[in-house]
Amino acid sequence: MDAQVFGNVILVIVLVIIVIFVITVLFRSIRIIPQAYAGIVERLGKYHKTLMPGLNLLVPFVDRLRPLVDLREQVVSFPPQPVITEDNLVVSIDTVVYFQVTDARAATYEIANYLGAVEQLTTTTLRNVVGGLNLEEALTSRDNINGQLRIVLDEATGKWGIRVSRVELKAIDPPISIQDSMEKQMRAERDRRAVILTAEGTKQSQILEAEGARQSAILQAEGDAKAAVLRAEGEAKAIETVFGAIHAGDADPKLLAYQYLLTLPKLAEGDANKLWIIPSEFTEALKGVSAGFFPSRDPSVTAAFGAAAATAAKAAANASKPDASKPTTRSRSAKSDS
C-alpha cells in the first residue's frame, strides 16, 4: 500500500515536471513581435536572423532574442551646446535631431549605443559647421546649417543602420553683450527704414500732387482754347448774320450814312496830342465803300453818302486840332529864345 502511494506521488511529480517543461518550451519557442519593432535572434551566441512583426518561432534553449529595436522615427533633443563662431564669439545652440533605424542588425552590432553616438556626432558636426561662419551668418543661415548637418549625419550614421531625416536648430543664443548691441542695431535699422518709408510716401504724394496740377493746367488750357474757338466762331457767325441782313434787307442808305456820321466825331475824342491826317483820296475811298454796300442804289445816293462821310471826317479832324489861342510849349520856348 505504501509502495503504491509512493509510486503515485512520483508519477504526479514527473507529470508536473513534464508539464512545466512543455510550457517553458512553448514559451521560449513562440515570440510575438509588435508592429514597428524588430527582433534580433542569436543562435548559440551568433547572429541568426531578424524577426519581423507578427508570430515567430524559436528553438528553445538554442535561440536567444535580444531586446527589440524601435523602427519608428525618433526625436532627440540635445542640451544647449557652446559653439565658437569664426569671429571668436561663443553662442549657445539647441539642436533637435530626427532619425530612424532602418537596419536593426547594424544598429545592434555596428554601434554600442546609437543614441549617444548620434548626440556626440551632432555636437562635433555642429561645431565644425558653425565654426566656419560669423555670428551674423550663423543667425541668418539656419536652413543652410540644418542642411549641412543632415547631410554629414546621414552619411556618418548610414553604416549604423540609421537614417537622419532632419536636423533643426531650436535656438541660437549669442552672449548678453552681443544681444544688447544687436538690439540697438536692429532698432537703428527699423528707424532708418521708417524714415525711408516716410520720405518715399512724401515723394509719391508730391508726385501725385504735381501730376494733378499738370492735368488741371492742361484741362484749363484746353477749356480756354475751346472757349476762344467757340467765341471766335460765334463772332464770325454774328458778322456773317449782320452782313447778310444788310445785303438782304432794304436798309435806308441815308440812315446808314447818318449813323456813320455820328460815329466819326467819337473817333476824335481823346488826348489833344492826337493828329488826324485826311488824305484827298479819302472821299473817293468812302465812295467806293458806299458803292460796295449799295451796288444797286442810285449813283447820286452813293455820291451823297461819300460826300457826307468826307465832310464828317474833316470835321472830326478839325475838332482834333489843338486850340490856336493856347500857345504850345514849343511856341513859348521860341518866344523866350527871341
pLDDT at 221 over 60: yes
Q: Look up residue 289 and give its three cell numbers.
A: 465803300
**Three cell numbers written together for 302:** 452813293
Express each pLDDT in 19-56 by its tens digit: 898 888 888 888 899 999 999 999 998 999 999 999 99
Alpha-carbon distance values, 208 to 85, 87, 220 (Å): 50, 49, 18
For the chain, the helix, strand and coil percentages under 3-state DSSP, each to the nearest 5: 60, 20, 20
All three cell numbers of 233: 466762331
At 109, list the grid cell.
552590432
pTM exceeds cut of 0.85: no
Q: Which helix (H) or strand (E) holds 90?
A: strand 90-101
Q: Is the pLDDT of residue 320 over 80?
A: no
Structural domains of the chain sorted by starting position, each given as residue range(s) with its CATH number in brackets: 2-69 (no CATH), 72-174 (3.30.479.30), 253-330 (no CATH)
pLDDT reading at 253 higher than 70: no
Question: pLDDT tens-digit profile of 115-148?
Answer: 889 889 988 988 888 888 888 888 888 888 888 8
Is pLDDT larger for residue 325 or for residue 241?
241
* Burial classification of residue 312, based on how many CB atoms lie within 10 Å of its CB (0-12 exposed, 13-18 middle, 19 or more buried): buried
Give the length of the chain: 338
User: Quick one: pLDDT at residue 52?
Assistant: 92
Q: Which of 266, 302, 265 is nearest to 287 (CA)?
A: 302
Q: In whole numbers, what is the pLDDT of the chain averaged over residues?
A: 77
Contacts with 174 (C-beta within 8 Å, 6 or more apart), sequence order: 89, 91, 135, 139, 182
* Averaged pLDDT for residues 319-328: 48
- The residues that bridge with 84 in the sheet, in sequence order, are 90
Using alpha carbons, list the distances in angstroms from residue 22 to 13, 16, 31, 44: 14, 10, 16, 21
